[in-house]
Each structure stands twice: as structure tokens, then as C-alpha cells.
Structure 1
């Protein structure tokens, strides 16, 4: 389903601003002047302050995820964690958390580093005579998909298929519906074969763990497993790709911070958190109200779609000192780039691992890179902020 990108006459409509160079002047006006804003053309309410967004996330009885979490209201055919409320969400999350242990994520470190180094070595081979290459195509896009394929136990010979189908699904906005459906069908057929194989011969991959997980004593169904795999493919790859691209642009514009990171890699961990806060890969997600909600003198009616503008919350001066300053040593950094509470991103530890290793390897490989800023192309999306083209001079 194509997402809704139509322009509106409301200059405080945040949806089109996910793809502009600097959406924060609009977000700032929303926070300071219209903390509860209604976009009539979209029938969409918008919350933009850190405290209000945290309160909404922590109150699933009032702000439900079950009718979709994107502004268009799209609900995936195979429902999964992101569109479930308690108690269904609680039971499934408990079952799935078995697959996302800190030990399992830590064990991926060497594989992530190996993928990153292999991609960067091949990147040099694709550079033109002037040393220019598209880093999206050669590094930031394939790295998370290869890591996810490894985590799921996809056979190395099938990774090109997995990436091709994954790209078709992840970057489906405005795509030919037939192409998207064909990719979904091909990947579903492949995963069903893998499920059957893992039942007979379980391994230590994520699919094997999920097959033996239970929801309050009930094994996860095939549709639930498929839904989880598709969620991991979409939510677990595009956001990491976007964050890596955003990092490259931020460090292009702030050469002093780049120099500090190259000279002192111990700053990488706090730098990654600041990148996630300062230029959030997920601009916001939506909920639907289950009752009338009174906030800042306005009443959001029952049944209304409410957009929680995470990127605005991450620049709220009520929560962050000097929020518009990019500070790679910022601490504490209580951003909501991974959500919060019951819907805190299950794959956050994996994303952090990929971002820390990916950025470290990139700066090791190309510390003096120059991003061709005038040739950047942003992804078309109403929730994610990232790039579809990242031309770099090595």
C-alpha cells in the first residue's frame, strides 16, 4: 500500500517535513505554539513535546497501536508486535524476547565487523576515476540486511534473493504494487521452507529460537512467525540504514566532531546516541485513541489518529539542554528514537551494535571522506528520515 505524501495547506503538517533538509523549525513551532495540533486534511492529531509523547506511549489503554502505527493507518496483513496492545502484546513480546538476549546480540559483533569490512573493501572497487561512489548502495543499505540474514539463518547462497526482496519491501513507497507483492510472495515461500527445515533440524539462529518460543504456553503460529520476520526485515534494517546515512551527513557538516571520533573511538557510543537523538531515523509513529483525551486545553476525541512526533521530542528543550547543538559527548541522553515502554524497539541492542561497528569501520576506512551534499537523495517516507543516494568522494 502506498503511503500518503500529498501536500496540505497546513504549514504545520509534519508529515512532508520528514524529507526536507531541516524539519526542525516546523517541529519547534509545533512544540512551542501548538503542542496538540490537528491536521484537518489528514484527519491527524500531532503531539510534539517529550513529556506528552512519553505519557502517550506509556498509556496503551488510551493510545492504541492496534489500528496501525503509521499516519496512513496501514495495518500489515500479518499482525505482529508493533500493532498489538496488551495483553496480546505482552504475551508475544515475552515469547520473542528469548531470541534477543544480550548474549546473542554480543555474539554478532565479529560477524557485523566482518560484513562491514567486506563491504568497505568492495566499495573501493566500485569508485569512479575521481574516487566517488554511492555509499548507500555499497555500504549503508546492504550492511543491516546482511546482518539480519545472518541472524535469521539465511543460507549465504540465498542472501542476494533476501536482499533483493528485502529492498523491494523496505523501500516500497510509491513502488509498483505487483513488484511488491511478488517480493512478499517470494520471501514468504522461502521462509516457509526454512521454517519446515528448522522444525526438523533446529540450529542456533533466530528462526530456530522463535519456533521454540511460546505465547503463554502456545507456540507461535506460522503467520505470527512470518509477521515477526517481516517486521525484523523492515524495522530492523531501514532504520539502521537511515541512521548510518544521517551519521555520515552530520559528520560531514561537523568536521571537528568527526576528527574527535577518529582520534578517540571511545566517544563512539555516546556519538551514536546523539546521532539517533539529533537526526532521528524514525520521525514519529501513530496511535488511535480509545477515549477522549484532554491535553493542553484541547480534546482529542475517541477514535482519533494521533501522530507522536519522536523527532520533535528529541529536540525538546524541556528534556535536553541546548537541544539544537550536536554534542557527541552528550550525557545523559534520554532520546526516544527507539520508542519507550512496552513498544521499546526489541532490536535496539542490535541496531546500536551495527551503528557502533559500522561507523567505527567507516571512519577507519575513510576518515577523510567528502559527502557530495548537493547530490543527496532522500527516501520518500512519511515516518522515516534517511537517504536513497549517498555519493561520497573517498
Structure 2
């Protein structure tokens, strides 16, 4: 993380400046990321008062160094989520070691590879339940009807949320994360969704305190840190993290895989014919839903000759790092056979994604189960609709026409 000071782009530069709230970035951030890696690896957005790191080595170094690149002010640049109050809304995601490790350990046992592998039969069952009403359909919305629904179903069940409420949880989660073009604040509909979801989760915690079940929320209610039980506010913060981070990222990456399989028919065919795991994994590298996380610099830090002052906000861009030619040969080529060991879509260091194994399972199962029923598909590009979030890249709607298999794949 050293070298000559880069040029900061000016208003007449032949690029779109990096702004995670700009709809143009949501449509296609990768040319901008490439420009940043080549010309401004320490990019400055003066208007929003943050810096951005885009190269693989710099992203990885920042994520593994919480002492200098801290989570304590949160992982989002939105004003309502950034600041010393961040642990109230983001729970252990907005903590540094050792507090982070203590609180993360309360639930980490649920997400071990062994425990997650044992969940596969149930995840498949939930996938098939979502596919059943689509089985005879020749046209449906892959994103809304399936890709976003499956991870939401899995997480809601894990958290003890009654199945009658699953679709409303998903709808409020999607609405809560939407932003108007260029705005870093939630609009009235997003605020209403956040309040509605918060009220629901407070009531859920109250119900499970009175009648605990065999679910992750009840586990958190019974847990102690330093001899004290967690407060309702802490548990609700944990539920927001689980629903927001796990549900959003996984569902949108499944949708991104479907989209890229349509753009590249050979990829889509091989994915549907049994290479679901490779299809999901290369999508995670090539076009992960998770684009950016924020950090706060705790001390003056020099990166590529640029001084980041103590207290500076930094946008760390794993999605750009995964397209860095310094880490991946021919990074803009979508390749199912690629060595993806250097991929950092799940983060790196102490904040490596707690649910990585579960997310991988859900993506593989979702694509495998649709592949058992469908041999090909076409996306109605005129009706595709993207989500608009500073962190998540994906689709709210992916209408498609499918070709059922003459004989369902075993």
C-alpha cells in the first residue's frame, strides 16, 4: 500500500465519478472501478467526504486491519447508519475486536460448515416449495418469485419468524434499502418500511422471550455477555443484520447469476446442466451483490502516497478488487473454470462473512433446483428492473420465459 500519489479525477475527466448513491453506478460500476484502479487507487469524493480503495491488495489489507480501518462507526455511508451509534443498528458488524469476536461467537456455531451442510435437505425442500407454483409456468419473475424468496425463507425460518410473515419481511427489506438517485437518505417509503420492520422485530423478540423456541432468535435471547443478557435493542439490531445482510446479498447474487447465464448462453447451459456451484462462485467474483463496505480510519494512514487522516471515511470495494487484473488474469472474462481462491466477496479478516457457507449452499441449491426443471430461458430485458442501493447490486425484477425440460433432470 505505497507508491506515488495518484491524480484525483476532475469534473471534466472522461469517467463517471464514483458515488455509490448514483444510479449510473448501480447500472454498471465496473468501468468506473477499472478507471479508479488504474488512475486513482485512493479515490476522493469531496462532495460526500469519503475516500475509496479499489485495488485487490489495498482492499484486502484494509479488511484485515481493524485497528486502523475500524467498523465502530458502521459499515454504511448513509448518515442515519454512520456514527458512534452504529452498533445500535448494526450490532457486531459495527464492532472491532475484541468486542466483535465476543458477540459474533454467540451465533457462530450455527454457521459452521458442518452445521450448514446438515441444512441442505431443508434448503432444497424450501427451494422446491417456491418452485412448485412455477413448475407449469412458462413465464415468471426469476428475481421476485424465486431468487429473492429462497434465502429469505431460509433465514426467516432460522430466526423463528412465522411462515405467514415471510413475504412481508422480504418486501419491507427490499423497500427499506432503496434510495432515490443521488440521495444518501431514505425516502418516506423506505423509512416507513424500516419502521414497520423494526416494530415487527420488537414484537417478535417479545413473543419469543415469553415462549422461546428452537430458533436463532431464542438462542440470542438466552445468551449472556459478561454475565448479562442482551437487551431487546441489541437482539433487534442482530435481526436487522441477519435479514439485511444475508437475505439481500444471497438473493441478488442468485439473480445476477441468472442474468449472466442469459448473456452467455454457454454459461447458462452448463450451469443448468449441473455446474450450479461453479456458476454461483464465478458470479460471486464477477458480479457479487455486495459491492462496498465502509470503514473509519483511526490514525493517519498513507496509501499509495496519499494521506488518509484519522477519522476519514473509507469506502472499501471488494467488487472492484475481484475484477483487479493484479489478482485475476483476464478479470472481465466470465469463466466457470477460473481459480477463485483470491476472491474476497465474503470479506476478509475478522469480519469475514459469518454466513458464507450458508450463502454458498443456498446459491448452489437455488441454481441446481431450477436447473432440474428448466433447460433454457430468455430474459425480457425491456422489463428488467434493478435495485438501487449503495451497497447491493442486483435485480428487483427479472421477467423470463423458460423452456421446461422434457424430462426433469435427476
Normalised by the length of structure 1, the TM-score is 0.89
- 2:17 maps to 12
**Does 2:181 align with 1:208?**
no
* 1:276 paired to 2:284: yes
Superposed, 1:74-85 pairs within 5 Å as 74-75=81-82, 76=86, 77-85=88-96
- CA distance, structure 1, for counterparts of residue 258 and residue 123 of structure 2: 18
Distance 2:196 2:276 in 1: 40
Deviations 1:236-274 (A, max 9, x none): 1011111011001110011112222333x2x33233221
Distance 2:395 2:229 in 1: 39
Query: Residues 64 and 85 of structure 1 are in contact (CA less than 8 Å); yes or no, is this contact kept in structure 2?
Result: yes
Give the SS at the match of 1:90: helix
**Residue in 2 that maps onto 1:303:** 311
Q: 1:229 aligns with which of 239, 244, 247?
A: 239
Name the counterpart of 1:184: 198
Please tell me whether residue 360 in structure 1 is matched to residue 368 in structure 2: yes
Distance in 2 (CA, whole Å) between partners of 1:164 and 1:381 is: 15
Quote the residue 2:254 is aligned against: 244
For residue 210 of structure 2, give the secondary structure of its aligned residue in structure 1: helix
Number of the residue aligned with 1:28: 34
* CA distances 1:39-72 after superposition (whole Å, capped 9, x unpaired): 1111110110010011111111111111121122
Q: Which residue of 1 aligns with 2:53?
A: 47
Instruction: Show CA shifts across 1:296-334 (max 9, x none).
Output: 111111111100111110001111111111111212432
Aligned match of 2:356:
348
Query: Is the 1:169–1:184 Cα contact (8 Å) retained in structure 2?
Result: no
Q: Quote the residue 1:331 is aligned against.
A: 339
Shift of 1:175: 4.7
**What's 1:315 paired with?**
323
Q: Alpha-carbon deviations, 1:111-170, whole Å to 9, x = none? A: 211111121221256x5xxx3322222111211111111112333344355445444445
CA 1:299–1:222: 2 relative to 1, 3 Å: same
The alignment status of 1:120 with 2:121, answered yes or no, reads: no
CA RMSD of aligned residues (A): 2.2
Task: Give distance in 1, aligned partners of 2:129 and 2:60.
Answer: 40
- The Cα shift of 1:80 comes to 0.7
Structure 1 stretch displaced more, 114-123 or 152-161 = 152-161
1:152 and 2:159 equivalent?
Answer: yes
CA gap of 1:51–1:98, structure 2 versus 1, over 3 A, is same
Contact 2:107–2:216 at 8 Å: present in 1 too?
no
3-state SS of 1:190 partner = helix
Indicate the residue corresponding to 1:142 in structure 2. Answer: 149
Do the aligned partners of 2:261 and 2:271 also contact (CA within 8 Å) in 1?
no
Q: Is the 8 A contact 2:56 2:324 kept in 1?
A: yes
Provide Cα deviations, 1:193-246, integer angstroms capped at 9, x if missing partner: 123311xxx42x222333344435544333222211111011010111110110
Residues 386 and 397 in structure 2, CA contact (< 8 A), matched pair in contact too: yes
Residues of 2 paired with 1:332 and 1:132: CA distance? 34
Gaps of 5+ in 2: 1-9, 180-185, 403-410
Give, in whole Å, the separation in 2 of the partners of 1:350 and 1:232. Answer: 12
The equivalent position to 1:37 in structure 2, one of 43, 65, 89, is: 43
Q: Is the 8 A contact 1:270 1:331 kept in 2?
A: no
TM-score computed with the length of structure 2 as normaliser: 0.86
Q: Could you tell me whether the CA contact under 8 Å between 1:140 and 1:241 is conserved in 2? A: yes
SS at match of 2:233: helix
Report if the CA contact (8 A) 2:18-2:25 is conserved: no
Among candidates 258, 268, 277, match of residue 268 of structure 2:
258
2:210 maps to which residue? 196
Alignment partners' CA distance in 2, 1:99 and 1:148 = 12
Residue 393 (structure 1) aligned with residue 401 (structure 2): yes
Aligned residues: 376
Counterpart for residue 62 of structure 2: 56
**What residue is the counterpart of 1:111 in the other structure?**
122
Conservation of the 8 A alpha-carbon contact between 1:50 and 1:314: yes
Deviation at 1:284, TM superposition (A): 0.9
Unaligned runs of 5+ in 1: 1-7
Q: 2:298 — aligned with what?
A: 290
Runs (4+) of structure 1 exceeding 6 A deviation are none
Q: Which residue of 2 aligns with 1:71?
A: 77
